[in-house]
């Protein structure tokens, strides 16, 4: 008698999720766009007082 190595590709084992491994190109593009949007940061605008305070802190 031989033993079958069970993995995610073994027939009958988790076949329900097999189609989730495929991502359509349109969806992949949208996922990548979303990730880029999450990483975007707006440029901080400082007034003169804040710039002066930061300059003093850095100088110390």
Separation CA 54–CA 8 (nearest Å):
55
Domain ranges across the chain: 1-42
Q: Are 48 and 40 in contact (CB under 8 A)?
A: no
Q: How many residues does the chain have?
A: 60
Per-residue pLDDT tens digits for 8-56: 555 555 566 666 667 888 999 999 999 999 998 888 888 999 999 999 9
pTM higher than 0.75: no
What pLDDT is attached to residue 47? 92
Residue in this structure with the two tokens 């590709």, named with its chain if needed: 9
Q: Are 14 and 8 in contact (CB under 8 A)?
A: yes
């Amino acid at each position: 008698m031989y033993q079958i190595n069970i993995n995610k590709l073994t027939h009958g084992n988790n076949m329900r999720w097999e189609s989730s491994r495929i991502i359509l190109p349109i969806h992949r593009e949208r996922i990548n766009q979303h990730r880029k949007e999450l990483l975007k940061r707006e440029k901080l605008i400082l007034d003169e007082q804040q710039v002066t305070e930061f300059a003093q802190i850095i100088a110390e």
